[in-house]
């Protein structure tokens, strides 16, 4: 009887350890890593009628998935070294929940795991049935052996969940940025992935919008990777990211929408807006037009347009000053000159670095490390 009592106490301890480990992993995954994904999925599936709370959403899902193994244990008896096996359906549900993706139009897209989960569960039921008939050997009744085997099973399940979950870093950046824009937290949006080179056209457009809202578009545009030219300034009409109708937010800000013909012609769209509004062009639209010229590497159009909106002095945004310094060096007869001794010195040092007799890869790496946030680097390397 004493031995049975000790065995029951050990089984309870194993259940507690497994339950705590699963709850910590599940809540951490949902609240820390996948909160934006879950919020976007709920928004899309409910057609925007409900709002996902990261804290309560993670708590409720964790609670439900933690109770599921207890229900399975009521119907299936497994050896104490395999108690963690009862958490497999919970881990499978967690993997499926966090594996959803989104189409370009913002619709929820299920992973292929939803289709093969049924045969996996059938195979799992067969394993439980076999374990139910299998007696425990004396070696398997060792306390540390039981704990070690259960911990190994949980580790395997957690690793599988991590592999199956949607870990697309670009999507996560987009979702988090969209959530910040929805809350009008523009500084928060600009901090997302600030040190990362991962970028997409959608993320670029959202960052440029946040920069414009904070008055930093001309100053900090090249602080981030810009790989899509002027097209990166303009979101697609169907470019939703789940949390909000992102293109609608942008075009309300511009007070205009492009026709289908201009959807991928950002420079022409901004130029037509500026011509239509004539003297009513605000600083935000002017910056978008000037940055579009810079991203197209059209320095002549940039220089012709700049004096209409800015005085040519040291108060210009940094990217504009760098573009003017570059312009005076690449044109034999510049129509506009700008003198800045500090920038001239920096540009000379940049040119010396760019012309070093090294391989293209080494030159690119060195210039990115030293001048990666300048317009000069964009002009010569992107």
Whether pLDDT at 66 is above 90: yes
Share above pLDDT 70 across residues of the chain, in percent, rounded to a whole number? 89
Measured in whole angstroms, the distance separating CA 351 from the mean position of its chain's CA atoms is 34
Confidence of residue 127 (pLDDT cuts 50, 70, 90): confident
Among 48-52, 186-190, 272-276, which is the least confidently predicted range? Answer: 48-52
Whether pLDDT at 239 is above 70: no
**What's the pLDDT score for residue 378?**
93
**What are residue 109's phi and psi, to 5 degrees?**
-120, 120
**What's the pLDDT score for residue 249?**
84
Whether pLDDT at 129 is above 60: yes
**What's the pLDDT score for residue 29?**
93
The DSSP line for 184-229 is T-HHHHHHTTTT-----HHHHHHHHHHHHHTT-HHHHGGGS---SG
**What's the pLDDT score for residue 27?**
95
Q: For residue 255, count CB atoms less than 10 angstroms from its CB and return exposed for 0-12, middle for 13-18, buried for 19 or more.
A: exposed
Whether pLDDT at 106 is above 80: no
Rounded mean pLDDT of 195-211?
A: 91
Rounded mean pLDDT of 126-133?
A: 76
Q: Which residues, 6+ apart, have CB-to-CB distance to 143 below 8 Å?
A: 10
304-343 residue pLDDT tens: 999 989 989 989 999 999 999 999 988 888 888 888 889 9
Whether pLDDT at 110 is above 80: no
Among 18-27, 94-103, 287-296, which is the least confidently predicted range? Answer: 94-103
Please enumerate, as own/partner, the contacts of 26-31 that have beta carbons within 8 Å and a separation of 24 or more: 26/58, 26/61, 26/62, 26/65, 26/66, 26/90, 26/94, 27/58, 27/59, 27/62, 29/94, 29/98, 29/161, 29/162, 29/165, 30/54, 30/57, 30/58, 30/61, 30/62, 30/94, 30/98, 31/55, 31/58
Whether pLDDT at 162 is above 80: yes
**What's the pLDDT score for residue 237?**
63
Q: What average pLDDT does the structure give for the chain?
A: 85
247-294 residue pLDDT tens: 888 888 888 888 777 777 888 999 988 887 654 457 788 999 999 999
Q: Which of 97-111, 214-228, 240-254, 328-342 has the highest mean pLDDT?
A: 214-228
DSSP conformation class of 29: I
Q: Please state the pTM of the whole predicted model.
A: 0.84
């Amino acid at each position: 009887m004493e031995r049975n009592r000790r065995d029951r106490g050990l089984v309870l301890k194993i259940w507690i350890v497994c339950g705590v480990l699963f709850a910590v992993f599940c809540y951490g995954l949902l609240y820390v890593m996948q909160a934006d994904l879950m919020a976007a999925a709920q928004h899309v599936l409910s057609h925007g009628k409900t709002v996902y709370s990261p804290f309560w959403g993670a708590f409720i899902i964790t609670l439900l998935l933690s109770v599921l193994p207890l229900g399975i244990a009521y119907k299936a008896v497994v050896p104490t070294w395999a108690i963690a096996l009862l958490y497999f359906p919970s881990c499978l549900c967690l993997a499926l929940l966090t594996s959803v993706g989104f189409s370009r139009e913002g619709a929820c897209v299920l992973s292929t795991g939803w289709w093969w989960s049924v045969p996996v569960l059938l195979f799992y039921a067969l394993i439980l049935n076999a374990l139910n008939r299998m007696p425990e050997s004396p070696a398997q009744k060792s306390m540390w052996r039981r704990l070690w085997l259960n911990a190994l099973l949980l580790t395997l399940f957690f690793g599988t969940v991590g592999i199956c979950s949607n870990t697309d870093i670009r999507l996560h950046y987009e979702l988090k940025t969209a959530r910040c824009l929805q809350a009008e937290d523009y500084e928060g949006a600009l901090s997302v992935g600030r040190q990362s080179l991962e970028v997409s056209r959608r993320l670029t457009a959202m960052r440029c919008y946040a920069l414009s809202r904070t008055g930093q578009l001309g100053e900090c545009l090249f602080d981030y990777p810009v790989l899509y030219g002027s097209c990166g300034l303009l979101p697609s009409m169907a470019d939703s990211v789940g949390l909000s109708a992102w293109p609608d937010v942008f075009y309300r800000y511009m007070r205009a929408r492009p026709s289908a013909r201009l959807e991928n012609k950002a420079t022409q769209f901004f130029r037509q807006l500026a011509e239509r509004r004539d003297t009513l062009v605000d600083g935000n639209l002017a910056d978008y037009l000037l940055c579009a010229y810079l991203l197209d590497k059209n320095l002549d159009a940039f220089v012709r347009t700049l004096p209409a909106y800015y005085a040519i002095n040291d108060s210009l945004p940094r990217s504009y000053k760098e573009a003017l310094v570059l312009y005076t060096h690449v044109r034999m007869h510049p129509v506009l000159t700008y003198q800045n001794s500090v920038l001239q010195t920096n540009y000379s040092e940049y040119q010396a670095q760019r012309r070093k007799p090294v391989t293209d890869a080494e030159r690119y790496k060195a210039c990115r490390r030293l001048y990666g946030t300048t317009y000069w680097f964009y002009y010569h390397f992107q």
